[in-house]
Chain A
Amino acid sequence: MSDLRELYQEVILDHHRRPRHFGPLPGANHHAEGLNPLCGDHLTVHVDVEDGVIKDVSFEGAGCAISRASASLMTDAVKGKRVEEAEEMLEEFRQMITSGADGPVEAGLGKLGVLCGVREYPSRVKCASLAWHTLHAALESETETVTVTTE
């Protein structure tokens, strides 16, 4: 059980039970839908970008604890950040969860570091990255909702 506790840290279980920024976002000007065809999970990310800053962000959808917690932590992390900063975090996050077991955890990732446990669970990496891929697609999209998949 001890290594399971590293994956399912209390912070993750907390964000899973009480996701932050969960629900529709009136006034959002970027949207994307993310699918994980492997498990059928889907989530939608809404972003309100003004002058290159993520003024507000939210997500909706159904998923496992890892994908929900990752989405919830992500919204906390990128809200108020410049779009380029969010893209940098995406890159650091991606590196963290795909590096080997002893890979570095960027200090800049802050709370997102709690998700580093997924490195040891190859079948769960996509659960953690779904929200970020979807955010990326939303930021790139102009008006309509785009769909990304983890495949």
Chain B
Amino acid sequence: MRVVARAGAPAGAPGLQQRAFDVASIRRDFPILERHVYGQPLVYLDNAATAQKPRAVIDAISNFYLVSNANIHRGVHRLSEEATGAYEGARAAVRRFLNAREAREIVFVRGATEAINLVAQAYARPLLRPDDEIVVSILEHHSNFVPWKMAAEATGARLRVVPMTDAGELRLDEYERLLSDRTRLVAIGHVSNALGTVNPVAEIVRLAHARGVPVLVDGAQAAPHMRVDVQALDCDFYAFSGHKTFGPTGIGVLYGKAELMDPMPPWQGGGDMISSVTLDEVRYAALPAKFEAGTPDIAGAVGLAAAIEYLEGIDRDAASAHEAALARYAEKRLSEIAGVTVLGRAAQKAGIVSFVMSAAHPHDIGTVLDREGVAIRTGHHCCQPLMHRLGVPATARASFAFYNTFEEADRLAAAVARVKEMFG
């Protein structure tokens, strides 16, 4: 049976036309999906590592270099003005994408990793005193764990880790107990890249704010796959990567509330982040330039804006529903194969399926699937504390995007059945 994701109102709602999510037409926008590997049509299920790019993004980047390439904020000439316009236009697009209050709350960085490091260096480090605490969770990607560990080690502060249930859901009761008058910051992922758990971020923020604690949300796996409204979440910082959001590599975003980012010192010095420099004194530029030292990834920002415009052109709720339906279908098909265990059974789950097999190590699963044309990720997914918690060295992970199909989920299951056949 094929499940077709439906957009809009729940089934049976009167007067509302239901519309199938048109995957076939979406796929035509992504040229790479026509590729074959080892003689088979590519089944790309490694979207959590990086997503494929629609032609609109590829064209926007190449047009920028073909037509408008110049450095920004520095030239009086026409091309520089165009480039500056495109770069600041991209900032406006990101503001809209996250529903931030102001464009100056959007800082361009290299990716989610750099966004988190910026906050760890420029916000947490100057603030932290010995015995202060930062709260993270067991689900975090290393990039939302190691920067805090580094800040803690440099200042004598401590990390406290929110545990999870066996299903992969954060223990909110434990989280509340961890919040104390020593807590200086909560840093939590929106969606787990390893298990797909969607964390109740608005509730996490509410509980922290009740104690005056600011919250950073690592949105690397959420921004590509669901609508994000930073004002509704009321988080203080939000980080995501362009390349996972159907845009190019090398560009990412830190959103921060102006009232938190205004007093923060810069973290890198150089051109474009100053208002004046004399031999005796440097005055820093205002937001967001203060945090964008040097020539940024201008073409990357242009590509990210094209990706955002692409997402604005599709029904995003239907896209999320389609991804989740694919993942639940894949889970069901995989669970029918003897010896396969799906890890992570959270009630709120995105389009990610992590699994292990009793007969084969994830690395071997990955190699066999690759030869079947199915690209997945295997390993610890930069989540070693979580792997320890789960008691596995690694998992195999299939991660879906809205351009994936139920036929591709079937090919995943067929390839895993081959693994079973080979390894017994």
Contact = CB atoms under 8 A, between A and B. Distances in A.
Interface of A: 1, 3-4, 7-8, 13, 17, 38-42, 62-66, 121, 123-124, 127
Contact of A64 (B361, B384, B422): B361
Q: Which of A8, A40, A42, A63 has the most CB of B within 10 A?
A: A40
Contacts of B387: 40
Contacts of B361: 62-65
26 contacts: A1-B418, A4-B367, A8-B364, A13-B423, A13-B424, A17-B424, A39-B363, A39-B378, A39-B394, A40-B380, A40-B384, A40-B387, A40-B394, A41-B363, A41-B394, A62-B361, A62-B393, A64-B361, A64-B364, A65-B360, A65-B361, A65-B423, A66-B364, A121-B367, A123-B367, A127-B363
B379 A7 contact: no
B368 interface: yes
Given A40-B387, A40-B393, A124 B422 contact: no
A8 B362 contact: no
A33 B371 CA distance: 31
A66 B363 contact: yes
Contacts of B418: 1
A42 to B, nearest CB: 8
A38 B371 contact: no
Given A62-B393, A63-B361, A65-B360, A124 B379 contact: no
B393 to A, nearest CB: 5
Q: Which of A1, A42, A63, A64 has the most CB of B within 10 A?
A: A64
B260 to A, nearest CB: 35
A39 B364 contact: no
Given A1-B418, A4-B422, A65-B423, A39 B362 contact: yes
Report, nearest first, the 5 A-B pairs whose CB atoms are least far apart: A64-B363, A64-B361, A40-B380, A39-B379, A40-B393
A142 B389 CA distance: 34
Interface in B363-417: 363-364, 367-368, 371, 378-380, 384, 387, 393-394
A63 B392 CA distance: 11
Contact of A124 (B367, B380, B423): B367
B38 to A, nearest CB: 8
A88 to B, nearest CB: 29
Contacts of B424: 13, 17
A4 B380 CA distance: 24
Contacts of A127: 363
Nearest to B378: A39
B379 A38 contact: yes
A7 B378 CA distance: 18
